[in-house]
Amino acid sequence: MDAIIRLREMGFWVRVEGDKIKVRWTGPGNAPDAAPLLDALRKRKAEALAILRGEVRPARPWTWAGPDPDNSGQFIAWREGEFDHLIGRGETQLDACLSLWDAEETLERARR
């Protein structure tokens, strides 16, 4: 669910306590306006609870792959969102995507 990811990227703490979703500002200074994201959580509370409890994984954005401008004959893969700083590389578009997905899984495992 995009609202959870975006709230966390902004600096909010988002957790489940019982049947409630708790959102708290953890960044410096005053919290930015998050009203639209909080409304999205309220409207899709059941889905948000399931994601936060680990019962389902949120859908990932599309992975894009194309020719690597720095390496002739190679491909790079990227996607927008939580791991937009990662890039996968490979000899084919599929290899580049697999490289990216492996890197994402490694980061997710390290967070747990």
**What is the pLDDT averaged over residues 44-61?**
79
What confidence score (pLDDT) does residue 106 get?
A: 87
Regarding pTM above 0.75, the answer is: no
Asked whether residue 108 carries a pLDDT value surpassing 70, the answer given is yes
Please, which pLDDT band fits residue 39 given cuts at 50, 70 and 90? very high
What confidence score (pLDDT) does residue 109 get?
A: 83
Q: In terms of C-beta density within 10 A (0-12 exposed, 13-18 middle, 19 or more buried), how is residue 64 classed? A: middle
Sequence ranges of the domains in the chain: 2-52, 64-111
